[in-house]
Chain A
Amino acid sequence: MIEFVELRKEFGTSTVVEDLDLIIPAGEIFGFLGPNGAGKTTTIKMMMGVLEPTSGTVILNGHDIAKAPEEAKAQTGYVPDQPALYDKLTGMEFLRFVGGLYGLDRGDIDERARDLLEEFDMLARAEELIETYSHGMKQRLTLSAALMHRPRILVLDEPMVGLDPQGGLELRQILLALAAGGVTVFLSTHSLSVAEELCDRIGILDAGRLVALGSLDELQSRAALRPETAPRDASLESVFLRLTGTEDRE
């Protein structure tokens, strides 16, 4: 379970995230949407303890990220928006390193790394330096690293960027399987079709404020775009544009 408690972040005089209150239960796939600059990545960085909030906190599976960061992080896998890795390590070495950081048993690390590399179709290039990988391969390696320690919470910031259609499909299947196993998935994405397909609930952030929260049906009701009255406009895209005011602005 993920709990945001009055989470707020200010940079100088501008408020990037404004008093975010939100609870995401275990096993849910939560879609986090918003226009560019809405504060999604800042929220995720605070959730992962890599950025200090101005006030408020995030509780990951009962562990406050500010008070017990190690315990909270041990529960969580993280895929950032830009998969910067150690270019001079091989894929296998990187996964061994990450496995060690998360306290996996030495004996399990290699087996787990091989399984993940195989699952993400990277085993053949496991011993090559990361600097020779394509963007998509780095993205898949980052996903493998996030899953190494079998996290109970998975936080993904734009995970579909750089993945080919096959990779995207595999990731969607993996996320559904993880959620079925009780893993909470927090998914920030610009791909509205992915959110529509995968997410149990969706939160829309605009200018740092959570302007909408609920299932797709609930959001459609809120935007007064019932499928039965306007089926062509009933897409999440329409809801998103209506709720964030982007439609009017354009």
Chain B
Amino acid sequence: MSRGPSLGLLVAPRLLAARHALRRSYLKAVVLVAFTAAFWVGCFTFFTNVLEFFQTVTALGPLLTQRLLVMILVSFFAILTISNIVTALTTFYLANDVRFLLAAPVSRRRLHQARFTETLVASSWMVLLFGLPVFLAYGVVYQAGPLFYGAALATMLLLLILCAALGVIITTGLVLVFPARRTRDALLVITVALVAGGYMTLRLLQPERLADPTEMAGFMAFLTSFEAPSSPYLPTTWAAEVLIPLLGDRGGDPLFYLGMLLTTTAVAYLASAGLVASLYLKAWTRAQEGEARSGGRRRLASWLRPLAAPLPRTSGLLLVKDLTVFFRDPSQWSQLLLLLALVVVYIYNFSALPIDDGTPLAATLREVVAFANLALAAFVIAAVAVRFVYPVVSLEGRAWWVLRAAPLSLRTLWWSKFWIAFLPLATLGEILIVVTGRFLGVAPEQTVVFMATLLLLIAAIVSLGLAFGAAYPRLDTQNAAQIATGFGGVIYMVSCLGLIAVVVALEAWPVSRLFWHQFAPFPVTTGEQAAIGIAFAGVAVVTIVTWAVARSTAIRHFARLG
């Protein structure tokens, strides 16, 4: 009798899909490799500099190094555990092919191995990518021997496997108690809220103080007193106890702690395998249970309908439909938390600038920052658009046929999608420019110029978002965050940055000539007036042409979506 399918066979579909995806687009592969390489180099350089600086602090250097390592390991462990819980929920309980595998002659043990491998790879590759240059930096700065590199790799792999095992165990427990989709939604919102909260906290801690030597001392004091969870029972403590002695900073027993890590990981893995073997079918059955009806639905609809009343009928219909789906899908509305964090930090940055001491330098700084504000506000809008506008076409999903079969022209459809995206983004952009302009004490005329420029830019950014979204549709995924991080999303962001750079370059001279204090004593000549007019006309032409070309591209791709 056959022993059943091998692990290789069970993970082959994912590997083959990845290979086909790469084959379809070599450009995509090249861009991804380039981005990854740039990220690695940046990460390695940053940590090398930090660690070299710590080495200059003779008394505290080793302690700081160790504390930083523990902080990194604890962060990795927390991120990995949450990531594995979310991923295991999909790979074990929500993926479409689980039903197929359950019906196939595949043993639970083999199923666990295959899905565990998928969970491990899907949730760990990013941390591994980030972690390796960090450990490499440690090794290089401390001139560690080959043993350190081997131990770092082994420690990292063991931690990854341990987190994946914990993820599978926790997920299975959650699914046994709560419906799987509810669990996924809740975890998703918690993760996004943690990211947004962490981002805001980090900014509000005023890291710029670290540029000041006296404040840097304060940071080091913080790090010295940092009470990272360092219980002897924590795997992160064992990992640190493996690595620190091998850096040569102090003695220890790395082999013992590596053994601790290895045995604990093995036990956790076997526990997850045992749990899946005995309870998987029960947990999977629970995961299939749908969500019960909810009274909140009618309230949402009654709130949205008046909002759409002033709009043309089709636009109103699409608005109500899009907003209803948006507020019922946690992967979409949770993005608002990130947006909120982004806006709070953005406005805070301007309120915290040291530009009101009355000196000429401060005045120049204010003018430079005010001009940079145009680029930054446009960048914020592009960052928001990649999350909210670019996925608009993909989020129609396979239900795209509903719109295509309806008596609705593609132009009408495009305009509806455009207004739905443009109006909130334009409101956000104008508020950012006005509020930050007030913090900076910008002249009202300059604010008006920036508001007009930003309106043109936002129209072009939205139009580009619809074009790239239609050109790189991901109709098979309903997760807005995933859609935004795809290849098309990256290209869209790069295109937006290019457009912003061109517009800012065109406006740099006219704005400085018209509004900067050092030019104020000199009246604008006729020649300068003409040049300023040409520059502003250039801004209008660039943005309007981009808008129009993107619009026709989007409509052409709408037709191809079928």
Contact = CB atoms under 8 A, between A and B. Distances in A.
Given A50-B562, A89-B325, A101-B314, A84 B407 contact: no
Nearest to A82: B398
A89 B317 contact: no
B401 interface: yes
Interface string B112-138: 000000000000000000000000000
B480 to A, nearest CB: 12
A85 B298 contact: no
B1 interface: no
A50 B405 contact: yes
Contacts, number: 88
15 contacts: A45-B562, A48-B404, A51-B562, A70-B408, A82-B398, A88-B329, A93-B321, A100-B316, A101-B314, A101-B317, A103-B407, A127-B293, A128-B293, A129-B290, A131-B291
B324 interface: yes
Contact of B401 (A50, A127, A132): A50
Nearest to B313: A100
Given A86-B321, A89-B321, A89-B324, A131 B290 contact: yes
Given A70-B408, A101-B406, 15 more contacts: A50-B404, A50-B562, A69-B409, A73-B405, A76-B405, A78-B405, A84-B401, A87-B478, A97-B402, A101-B408, A102-B407, A103-B313, A127-B297, A129-B290, A131-B290
Nearest to A50: B404
Interface in B128-154: none
A132 B314 contact: no
The 9 A-B residue pairs with the shortest CB-CB distance in the complex, in nearest-first order? A84-B398, A132-B290, A74-B407, A101-B406, A73-B407, A88-B328, A70-B407, A100-B317, A50-B404
A203 interface: no
A194 B293 CA distance: 36
B559 interface: yes
Nearest to B478: A87
B184 to A, nearest CB: 13
Interface of A: 45, 48-52, 69-74, 76, 78, 80, 82, 84-90, 93, 97-98, 100-103, 127-129, 131-132, 145
Interface string B314-344: 1011001100110011000000000000000
Given A50-B562, A82-B398, A100-B313, A88 B324 contact: yes
B406 A88 contact: no
A1 to B, nearest CB: 18
A79 to B, nearest CB: 9
B403 interface: yes
A71 B401 CA distance: 17
A102 B407 CA distance: 6
B549 to A, nearest CB: 21
Interface in B288-303: 290-291, 293, 297-298, 301
B420 to A, nearest CB: 14
A129 B298 contact: no
Contact of B407 (A86, A88, A101): A101
Contacts of B316: 100
A100 to B, nearest CB: 4
Given A87-B478, A101-B408, A102-B406, A52 B291 contact: no
A100 B316 CA distance: 10
Contacts of A98: 402, 406
A141 B325 CA distance: 18
Interface string B383-425: 0000000000000011101111111110000000000000000
A76 to B, nearest CB: 8
A52 B555 CA distance: 13
A98 B399 CA distance: 12
A89 B404 CA distance: 18
Nearest to A42: B562
Nearest to B398: A84
Q: Among the interface residues A78, A86, A87, which one has the most CB atoms of the partner chain B within 10 A? A: A86
Contacts of A132: 290-291
Contacts of A74: 407
Given A101-B407, A101-B408, A132-B290, A84 B325 contact: no
B552 to A, nearest CB: 16
Contacts of A88: 324-325, 328-329
B99 to A, nearest CB: 13
A87 B397 CA distance: 10
Given A97-B317, A101-B317, A101-B406, A84 B397 contact: yes
A73 B314 CA distance: 15
Nearest to A79: B405
A235 to B, nearest CB: 33
A175 B493 CA distance: 50
Given A93-B301, A101-B314, A127-B298, A48 B405 contact: yes
Contacts of A100: 313-314, 316-317
A183 B325 CA distance: 34
B478 A93 contact: no
A86 B559 CA distance: 20
Given A89-B325, A102-B407, A84 B399 contact: yes
Contacts of B297: 90, 93, 127, 129
Q: Among the interface residues B298, B301, B407, which one has the most CB atoms of the partner chain A within 10 A? A: B407
A241 B281 CA distance: 43
Nearest to A155: B405
Contacts of B293: 127-128
Contacts of A73: 405-408
Contacts of B405: 48-50, 73, 76, 78, 80
A17 B290 CA distance: 42
A74 B407 CA distance: 5
A84 B399 CA distance: 5
A72 B407 CA distance: 8
Contacts of A101: 314, 317, 402-403, 406-408
B397 to A, nearest CB: 7
A80 B298 CA distance: 29
A59 B410 CA distance: 19
A49 B404 contact: yes
A58 B298 CA distance: 41
A97 B405 CA distance: 13
B407 A52 contact: no
Contact of A85 (B324, B328, B399): B399
Q: Among the interface residues B314, B406, B409, which one has the most CB atoms of the partner chain A within 10 A? A: B406
